[in-house]
Every structure is written in structure tokens, then in C-alpha cells.
Amino acid sequence: MQTLDPDLLKTFLAFVDGGSLAKAASTVGRSPSAVTAQMQRLEEIVGEPLLAPQGRGRGLTPAGEDLVGHARRILAVHTEALLALKGARADGRLAVGTTQDFADRGLPELLRAFAVSHPRVRIELRVGRSIELGQALQAGDLDLAITMRQSPGPDEVAVIGEPMLWLCSQKGLAAREDVLPLALLDPQCGFREAALAALDAAGRRYRIAAGSASLAGVRTAVNAGIALTLRTARFAHSGIVEAPREFALPPVPTAEFAIRLGQNAGRPARDLATLLSAGLASSAA
């Protein structure tokens, strides 16, 4: 009986999350031809086509769609087993930094799993803005950080892409007006820059109805219905939903977040990076 090779499944999920074989090749560090060969091998094992032509690229077949969930579960169990075996004797302090996006949704469950597999490692968590976390990582105050990505860096071990979304209160705006009211973090913020750039390019009039140094302030303004904001789906909970089409808002890019390791990061930090790379990509999907 043939088995599903974890390496093949990793490449398959890299295609699913990246949307193309070229991005999958970049993610797994292989050539496009090698990735194509891996997909062909996986199709041979499964006995069904997994990818099919779709427009100018390729998409998933019904069998490919069925495999996605199985692949994520198989790799999750595989990672859990490896971490449990490696982490039993690991100890020391692990300083982790993250943006609020992941502190709210995605990270807590993964940190709990890591704490179970590495019971002697003391975790210290810092939640902040990307620029502050990046500075702390470079200064050696953090072992690992999840930050919004501005450009590729040598300390990155994984990149997670999540679509940006225009979000508003599920009750809508309290008052309709011609000028679009926005709730945004204070500069410097990648979401702020993306929102203003998209609106400027579309010639859409707007005003900053609420500015805040923290996401708590943005959430309050959006929940109150006095403004819309631009974040990812991780921000869409507790009364906040994707803005309806009637707002005719312009398209926006995909946000990229990097999992980064400090220069002197030890084995526990690398174990956590492995867990986060798979777990956060899965929760994004």
C-alpha cells in the first residue's frame, strides 16, 4: 500500500496557499520543474488528477479539493509528533512577538500546543506593532516574531498571505455620507497605506474618522458604525463583517506576514516557527 509522503503534501499545500506552481516552488525552495514532478508523483499515488488547467494557470480538481483537508491534518499530526519528541527535554526562555491580528485569532491555539509539547520552555509573549517587533527582534529582545512584511528579509522562515478586506459593523454605518469615513491605525501601518493608496487610485473621497495607536481603538470605531477599516478576516468577528458590495470599495492587495527568527534563536524557537508556519497558513486558508 502506498503512503502519502509529507514532502509531497507540503508542496501540494504550498500550491494551494500560494495559488500557483511558481509560488509553491519559491515556498518549498525547489525549481518549478521539481514541483511539477512532485505533483505528478502525488497524483500517481492518489490515482486521480489533483490539478487542472484554469484560465492561465491551474486549479484544484474535486479530488484535489478533497485532499486539502486530509493533507493539513496529516501534516499537523506529523508536526505534533516531531515536536513532542524533540521538545520533551528542551528548556529555557522563549520570547515571542506578534501583531494583534494573530494574537486574537490563530496564535493562542498554536501556543497552547507548543506549551504541551515543550513543557519546560517558559514562553514570554509580546503583542505590538510590526515596526516595534522588528526592532525588538534585531535588538535580541525577541527570539521569534510575526510581523507584517514590507520586503523580503534574511531572517524570514515563512511567509503567510492573507487577503485584505474592507470591514464594517454588521449593523452598517450609523450615518451614510458621500465621503467614506475610515478607522485606521496611526502611521506607520501597512493596512493604512494600502487603504489610502487604493482609495486615491480609485478617486474615492474619504476622511479619517478615527485614528488609533491600537487595534482596540479601531475596533471600537468600526463597531460603533462611525467608520470602515481595512484588515484581514482575522479582524472580522465580534460584530465586524466584510463590507457589502453596495459600498463599491476598490480592490486591495494581499497582506503578507513573515515569521522571523532572531539571530541567536535556539531550537525551541525553531520548533515553534515550524509549528506556526503550518498552523497559521492552515487557519488563513
pTM: 0.71
Q: Where are the beta strands (DSSP E) in the chain?
A: 51-54, 57-60, 92-98, 121-127, 144-148, 156-163, 165-169, 180-185, 206-212, 229-231, 240-242, 254-261
Residues 79 and 101 in one domain: no
Residues 152 and 273 in one domain: yes
**The pLDDT of residue 198:** 97
**The pLDDT of residue 86:** 60
Task: Examine residue 262 and state whether it is found in any structural domain, yes or no.
Answer: yes
- Compute the distance between CA of residue 48 and CA of residue 29 in angstroms, rounded to an integer: 26
**The pLDDT of residue 74:** 85
User: Which residues of the chain are under the pLDDT cut of 50?
Assistant: none
Q: Residues near 279 by Cβ (< 8 Å), separated by ≥ 6?
A: 76, 106, 109, 110, 113
Task: Examine residue 1 and state whether it is found in any structural domain, yes or no.
Answer: no
Residue appearing with cell numbers 515543550: 118
pLDDT in tens, 45-69: 988 899 888 887 888 999 999 998 8
**The pLDDT of residue 199:** 96
- Compute the distance between CA of residue 97 and CA of residue 244 in angstroms, rounded to an integer: 34
pLDDT in tens, 229-269: 999 999 998 899 999 999 999 999 999 999 999 998 888 89
Q: Label residue 78 left, alpha or beta by phi (over 0 means left) and psi (-120 to 50 means alpha).
A: alpha
Domain containing 172: what range?
165-252
**The pLDDT of residue 147:** 95
**The pLDDT of residue 282:** 63
Residues 264 and 146 in one domain: yes
| CATH, residue 190 | 3.40.190.10
Residues 28 and 133 in one domain: no
Residues 130 and 198 in one domain: no
- Number of folded domains that form the chain: 3
The DSSP code sequence of 152-185 is --TTEEEEEEEE-EEEEETT--SS--SSEEEEEE
**The pLDDT of residue 108:** 92
Residues 188 and 226 in one domain: yes
Task: Examine residue 242 and state whether it is found in any structural domain, yes or no.
Answer: yes
**The pLDDT of residue 283:** 63
